[in-house]
Amino acid sequence: QIQDLTFLVKNHCLTELYLNNNEVTDISGALKHLCALQILLLHNNQLENLGKTVEELKGMISLQTLNLFHNPLAQDPGYRLCVIYFLPSVQLLDRKPVTQRERESALHVYNHERSCVVQSIAFGKRLNTPLVTKTRYSRCTQPARRLMIPSVWKYSDNLHLLCSFCRVPFENPADAVFLRAMTRSIMEFSSVDWNKVSTCQERWLENKAEEPHEKLTVKFR
């Protein structure tokens, strides 16, 4: 018949907590200090507010097993996806393993903008903006797209350097997709006429500096 959880205030090192089959109606301010908690069973209680419950459990980065079934909040539409999104460390929710598909669905529902960026980058979706290369003459008549990136990168011509910073958030999610597309699927082929390249022995006998040999490089995007 437990209703009040204030007796847990000093139990900072708990890793497992079994509070199922009681009369708990609210956990606000009672569990957030249990950062080491790995298993929390709260099924068969009277928890009604899903938002407050999830907010209280957000700081539990070690929480892997969570039971909330047979509570009024479990009847809320989207209850399971809400818990999965806001408590990403949970692996077993209401005795059912959390699947990758559920995590993707939760991201799509609660952070649709980020979901679109992840999908575009991962699956190479077509961009609505044309890619403009730095050539003297271009057949593209539309203006080049300008990326809103930090000023420290603006004068860098090294695409590989820009690619290494792709994880930094952009003001516009479409910019992340654009930058990823600019550095994706670049193939480079180089050819050299090896008959014109002197061997080590020839260079040693001639005792002179080797002239730079001709190298043909072709890039495909």
So where are the chain's domains? 6-116, 187-220
For residue 43, pLDDT over 60 is answered with: yes
Average pLDDT over the chain reads 76
List the helix and strand counts (H, then E) for the chain.
7, 7
153 DSSP β-pair partners: none
pLDDT at site 217: 81
Output the pTM of the full model. 0.53
pLDDT at site 166: 45
Contact (Cβ atoms closer than 8 angstroms) between residue 12 and residue 33: yes
For residue 202, pLDDT over 90 is answered with: no
- Tell me what percent of the residues of the chain surpass a pLDDT of 70: 66
Note the pLDDT tens digit of each residue in 167-201.
Answer: 455 667 777 777 676 666 667 778 877 777 777 77
Q: Is 1.10.10.60 the CATH classification of the domain at 6-116? A: no
pLDDT at site 48: 92
Determine which of 5-14, 60-69, 128-137, 206-215 has the lowest per-residue pLDDT on average. Answer: 128-137
pLDDT at site 165: 44
Region at 161 (left for phi over 0; alpha for psi -120 to 50; beta for the rest): alpha
pLDDT at site 92: 96
Q: How confident is the model at residue 118 (pLDDT cuts 50, 70, 90)?
A: low
For residue 47, pLDDT over 90 is answered with: yes
For residue 51, pLDDT over 70 is answered with: yes
pLDDT at site 117: 64
Note the pLDDT tens digit of each residue in 60-111.
Answer: 999 999 999 999 999 988 899 999 999 999 999 999 999 998 998 888 888 7
Q: Which long-range contacts (CB under 8 A, 24 or more apart) does 170-179 make?
A: 172/148, 173/113, 173/114, 173/116, 173/117, 174/127, 174/129, 175/147, 175/148, 175/149, 176/117, 176/121, 177/117, 177/120, 177/121, 177/125, 177/127, 178/127, 178/129, 178/131, 178/145, 178/147, 179/147, 179/149
